[in-house]
């Protein structure tokens, strides 16, 4: 089970630069759709990679779906060598995205995110327009229903303003 509030807390309190995308971002915007993992776009500066390793290392991250016993060192070298990592941690499922289709990297996404307070932690969430764009770009049939919902949410939000 993913305790995404604890994961968000760990990331935020460690000073990690990240932006929440995916299903948790949708939920933050009001979507009632369930999601069971936390997707974040992370900044790939050397300092942020080091912070990620320091913060997530104690949570024993491993590659989701990998054969048991497959060697995996969650360190700066590994993060540098890869880009996107689908992880199991002690607090659940976490997806680290270095570059997201339709959105680019952290710096490209940053102007399209907002800071939100979540149980004392300050976290960035991608904005609704961009979230819709990301899902449309991904083009996965399983997202069509979610896109419909998010666009209606956007319409409702626009009417409220």
Partner 1 sequence: MAPQRTRERSSIDDIIDVYKKDVDLGLLLEGLKLTVEQRLDRLASFIELAEELRSSVRAAKSAKV
Contact set with partner 1 (CB under 8 A): 1-5, 24, 27-32, 34-36, 102-104, 108-109, 112, 116-119, 125, 127, 129-130, 132-133, 136, 139, 144-145, 147-149, 151-153, 156-157, 160
* Coil/strand/helix, residue 87: strand
Judged by beta carbon, residue 48 or residue 130, the one nearer partner 1 is 130
CB of 13 to partner 1, least distance (A): 16
User: Number of helices (H) and strands (E), helices first, in the chain?
Assistant: 7, 7
Identify the DSSP state of 142. Answer: G
CA–CA gap between residue 136 and residue 130 (Å, rounded) = 10
* Of residues 89 and 130, the one with the C-beta less far from partner 1: 130
Provide the minimum distance between the beta carbon of 1 and partner 1 in the complex, in angstroms, as a whole number.
4
Comparison of 42 and 125: residue with beta carbon closer to partner 1: 125
Q: Which of 8, 90, 1 is nearest to 42 (CA)?
A: 8
Q: Shortest approach of partner 1 to residue 127 CB, angstroms?
A: 7
| CA–CA dist 61, 53 (Å, integer) | 10
């Amino acid at each position: 089970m993913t305790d995404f509030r604890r994961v968000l807390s760990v990331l935020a309190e460690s000073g990690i630069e990240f932006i929440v995308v995916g299903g948790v971002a949708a939920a933050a915007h009001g979507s009632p759709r369930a999601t069971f993992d936390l997707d974040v776009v992370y900044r790939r500066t050397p300092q942020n990679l080091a912070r990620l390793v320091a913060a997530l290392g104690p949570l024993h991250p491993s590659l989701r779906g990998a054969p048991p016993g497959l060697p995996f060192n969650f360190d700066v070298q590994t993060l540098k060598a890869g880009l996107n990592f689908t992880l199991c941690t002690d607090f659940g499922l976490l997806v680290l995205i270095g570059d997201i289709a339709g959105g680019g990297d952290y710096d490209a996404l940053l102007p399209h995110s907002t800071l939100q307070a979540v149980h004392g932690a300050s976290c960035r969430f991608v904005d609704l327009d961009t979230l819709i764009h990301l899902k449309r770009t991904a083009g996965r049939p399983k997202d069509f229903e979610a896109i419909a919902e998010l666009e209606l949410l956007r319409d409702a939000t626009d009417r409220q303003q």
